[in-house]
Amino acid sequence: MTHAELIASQLNVKPSQVAATIKLLDEGNTVPFIARYRKEMTNSLDDEQIRIIADELTRLRTLDERRAVILAAIEEQGKLTEALRVSIGAAQTMTALEDLYAPYKKKRRTRAMVAREKGLEPLADLILKQGTGSPEKLAQKFLGEQVSSVEEALQGARDIVAETISDNANVRTALRGKALKFSTVYAKKIADAADEKRVYESYYDFTARVDRLLPHQILAITRGEKEGILRVRVDIPERDWLDVIQSEYEQDIISPFADQLALAIQDSAERLLLPSIERDVRREKGEGADHHAIQVFASNLRALLSQPPLADHTVLGIDPGFRTGCKVAVVDSTGKLLDTGTIYPHEPKNDWKGAINTLQDMINRHHVTLITIGNGTASRETEKLASELTRLETRTRYLIVNEAGASVYSASALARSEFPELDVSIRGAVSIARRAQDPLAELVKIDPKSIGVGMYQHDVDQTALNHTLDGVVESVVNHVGVDVNTASPALLTHVVGIGPKLANNIVTHRNTNGQFKSRAALRKVTGLGPKAFEQAAGFLRIRDGANPLDETAIHPESYEIAESILAQAGLTIASPLEERIHAVESLTLKTTVEALAEELGCGVPTLKDVLEQLVRPGRDPRADTPAPILRTDVLKGEDLATGMQLKGTVRNVVDFGAFVDIGVKQDGLLHRTQIPHGTVLKVGDILDVEIQKIELERGRISLGWVT
């Protein structure tokens, strides 16, 4: 099968769709560009499918490179048979390839190598073939300077047999398959290991069948082992490994060599095969758990980045703290910094009145309509301050935002370039203020791993994690689109075709020459060539520019189609939106989209996208998501009671449920058993929940679903 056929079978799509996508990728086109502007070629494969194709293509090509190296290495040894060539050619995983290569791979000096050097391979062949004659008498023929005794000769022969069994690809494949189903994992606390917070208490004496382990259990056990708290082993039942080996190397009970084979099998299993298969099982289960955790993180990150912006708010951001005070920053509706300060409402100064006066002055001077509070240390204590202020300033509301990564941003080179004169701690308050205004624009400035919506994100494969999270950021940024005249270099960097260097060039050009009046003007930016323009143009927006189409997601290559549609109604691109909407509606009533596409000489998917953008130009897709809950009063833990119903915001989604912010210090847990079957929650969802159980001393609140 070709790569296109293999990938198509995995995705359940046509090979022609995959082949077209591969061709586009090889021509240097990006995933968002292909998904949005090459639908006719791929038959409308979406962003996720195209990313899978790109990743799987990379995997298969890496496999092909390794296959070529292995074939060349075996051929150089003169051991490449036609059957082996076919088997290597058919291998579809790296593990299968390495199993086939194992007997021919150069190894460190082994006991079997030493035995072969002593000339004991013929004796080993007799054990494998279950020959006739006395093993002891036959072994005497191999005695000499290098082999001093019969037992040494037999031991050496068994060493060769043990390695042969261990290197057998059929044995390894079959045993690995059984081990992944029927082996048992054991975890036990190391006697003198310190686990003061009893983080790993669930695994102090833990047993489970490997195939029933949940991803978060695997990750927790692995972390506990790395931290020296747990000792972990995988036990493969003897009946399984013995059956697998004997299916390939059957003992002949009437052969004098039967006992020698039995000893070699036992040695091969205990010394070579089982430790290797245990590593394989743990690696495969670990990779599966990593993949799952990465997908959970990616899903949460996508939802977080897709939160709707709270437009037209002047925001006062508070980075709460005790001893060092609460840092304050005010930004206008565009995110421009207006004011900064520090207040000390909490211990040790307890200047509550002074803090109220300072904030009230800022609110009045800058007409603040929203207060945002970071959810870290002292956040709920500071929430009381905000609640009091909203009673004094009735037009103002407050919101607690996730401050994860704010300190990372504060100390970054990007923050230093934005606010060179500001103290690091004040920069964090600016970030907290801006997160409500446009979460995407602010969060792209931070390493995704620091945003805090993952599970064991620092334990999983970091290369795979970074690749996936970068893909999520790229996908969301390009789905939303970027205003080229207001975007930061950090945001522009994630527009396909741009990258860090071009992003800085765009901002430099903008600062030097003023705002861009058209997409076409981007061609004047140093380094932005035809290919980069082609990839990026449709995702860059020009508000109030010379050409109204520049603020839409219509690609410049399709402007002629848009103009032709409007011309049929006697309109131009400058015609008022209401007239455009009426014209498009009238046109689609008179004719089918298919007929219109044929008339205009374009594809149906492209035409549908153009028609949508003509009536909803530059619409922000984030508008479809629920707006965050703005609060005016603080809720204390003591105010809660079982049976109470509240509105809450999903903060994190994990394997066992969702953590929901209900307005108190501790997020409540909506366990997966409480979530209706088939319901998929995401970060930012607004839910009606009911308090089921309160354990404030343990910091636990259990929630139920309200229908």
* DSSP, residue by residue, 18-50: HHHHHHHHHTT--HHHHHHH-HHHHTS--HHHH
pLDDT band at 652 (very low <50, low <70, confident <90, very high): confident
pLDDT 10s digits, 24-48: 999 999 999 999 999 999 999 999 9
- For 307, 395, 444, 583, 685, the CA distances from 626, given in Å and listed in that order, are 8, 21, 21, 31, 7
Q: How far apart are CA 227 and CA 194, in angstroms?
A: 10
Mean pLDDT on 93-122? 94
Report the distance separating Cα 4 and Cα 186, nearest Å: 42
Residue 360: pLDDT over 90:
yes
Of 56, 177, 157, nearest to 115 by C-alpha is: 157
Spatial distance between the Cα atoms of 682 and 562, rounded to a whole number of angstroms: 36
Beta pairing class for 205-209 and 482-483: unpaired
Gap between the Cα atoms of 281 and 252, Å rounded: 31
Which of the four pLDDT bands, split at 50, 70 and 90, describes residue 206? very high
pLDDT bracket for residue 637 (50, 70, 90): low
Name the phi and psi angles at 636, rounded to 5. Answer: -95, 155
Least confident of 99-108, 208-217, 455-464, 541-550: 455-464
Max Cα separation, the chain? 105
What pLDDT, in 10s, does the model give residues 250-282?
999 999 999 999 999 999 999 999 999 999 999
Cβ neighbours of residue 154 closer than 8 Å, sequence gap 6 or more: 123, 135, 136, 139, 260
| pLDDT of the residue at 118 | 96
Expressed in percent and rounded to 5, the helix, strand and coil fractions of the chain are 55, 10, 30
Residue 48 structure tokens: 């996720």
**In the predicted structure, residue 636 carries a pLDDT above the cut 90:** no
- 575: burial class by Cβ within 10 Å (0-12, 13-18, 19+)? middle
Contact 60, 6 (CB under 8 A): yes
Quick check: 655 pLDDT over 90? no
pLDDT of residue 634: 61
> For 338-365, what is the mean pLDDT?
95
Q: How far apart are CA 382 and CA 345, in angstroms?
A: 8
Q: What DSSP letter does each residue of 458-520 carry, written as one string?
A: TTS-HHHHHHHHHHHHHHHHHHH-EETTT--HHHHHTSTTTHHHHHHHHHHHHHHH-S-SSSG
Q: How many whole angstroms separate alpha carbon 616 and alpha carbon 578?
A: 10
Give the burial string for 523-542 (b: 16+ CB within 10 Å, else e): eebeebeeebbbbbbbbbbb
**What sign has the CA pseudo-torsion 413, 414, 420, 423?**
negative
230/224 Cα distance (integer angstroms): 5
Q: Residue 629: pLDDT above 80?
A: no
The dihedral formed by the CA atoms of 282, 288, 291 and 297, expressed in degrees to the nearest 10: -90
In this predicted model, what pLDDT tens digit does every residue of 446-474 receive, in sequence order?
888 888 676 677 888 999 999 999 999 99
> Any idea which of 209-213, 451-455, 496-500 has the lowest mean pLDDT?
451-455
Task: Determine the pLDDT at residue 631.
Answer: 66
DSSP letter at 272? I
For residue 129, what pLDDT is reported?
95
Rounded CA-CA distance 35/627 in Å is: 28
How far is the C-alpha of 479 from the C-alpha of 474, rounded, in Å? Answer: 8
- Give the residue ranges of DSSP H helices in 367-461: 379-392, 406-410, 413-418, 424-437, 439-443
Res. 632: pLDDT tops 70: no
What whole-number distance in Å separates Cα of residue 558 and Cα of residue 571?
Answer: 17
What is the predicted pLDDT for the residue at 149?
96
Single-letter residue type at 216: H
Q: How confident is the model at residue 150 (pLDDT cuts 50, 70, 90)?
A: very high
- Kindly give the pairing relationship between strand 370-374 and strand 315-319: parallel
pLDDT at 658 over 80: yes
Q: How far apart are CA 309 and CA 438, in angstroms?
A: 4
DSSP 631: B
Provide the percentage of residues in the chain whose pLDDT is more than 70. 98
Confidence check: pLDDT of 665 > 90: no
**pLDDT tier for residue 290 given thresholds of 50, 70 and 90:** very high
CB atoms within 10 A of CB 706: 12
CA-based nearest residue to 167, from 273, 258, 299, 313: 273
Distance CA 283, CA 373 (A): 42
Strand partners, 327: 319, 342
Q: What is the 3-state secondary structure (H, E, C) of 522-588?
A: HHHCCCCCHHHHHHHHHHEECCCCCCHHHHCCCCHHHHHHHHHHHHHCCCCCCCCHHHHHHHHHHHH
Q: What is the pLDDT of residues 367-405, one digit of tens each?
A: 999 999 988 888 878 988 998 998 888 889 998 888 888
Q: Place 601 in a pLDDT band, splitting at 50, 70 and 90.
A: very high
540 forms beta bridges with 482
Alpha carbons 375 and 318: distance in angstroms, whole number: 10
Using DSSP, how many helices (H) and how many strands (E) does the chain show?
A: 30, 15
pLDDT band at 86 (very low <50, low <70, confident <90, very high): very high
pTM of the model: 0.85
Per-residue pLDDT tens for 588-600?
888 899 999 999 9
Residue 503's Cβ-side half-sphere holds a number of Cα atoms within 13 Å equal to 18
- What average pLDDT does the chain have? 92
The vertex-598 CA angle with 596 and 600, nearest 5°, equals 70
Model confidence at 635: pLDDT above 80? no
Q: Tell me the pLDDT band of 199, cut-offs 50, 70 and 90.
A: confident
Instruction: Indicate if the pLDDT at residue 201 is higher than 80.
Output: yes
Q: What are phi and psi of 483, to 5 degrees?
A: -75, 110
Tokens of 595: 């007929």
Strand partners, 315: 331, 370
The per-residue pLDDT for 654 is: 84
Query: Domains of the chain by range and CATH?
Result: 3-104 (1.10.10.650), 112-296 (1.10.3500.10), 315-475 (3.30.420.140), 508-624 (1.10.150.310), 637-705 (2.40.50.140)
Q: 506-531, pLDDT tens digit by residue?
A: 999 999 999 999 999 999 999 999 99
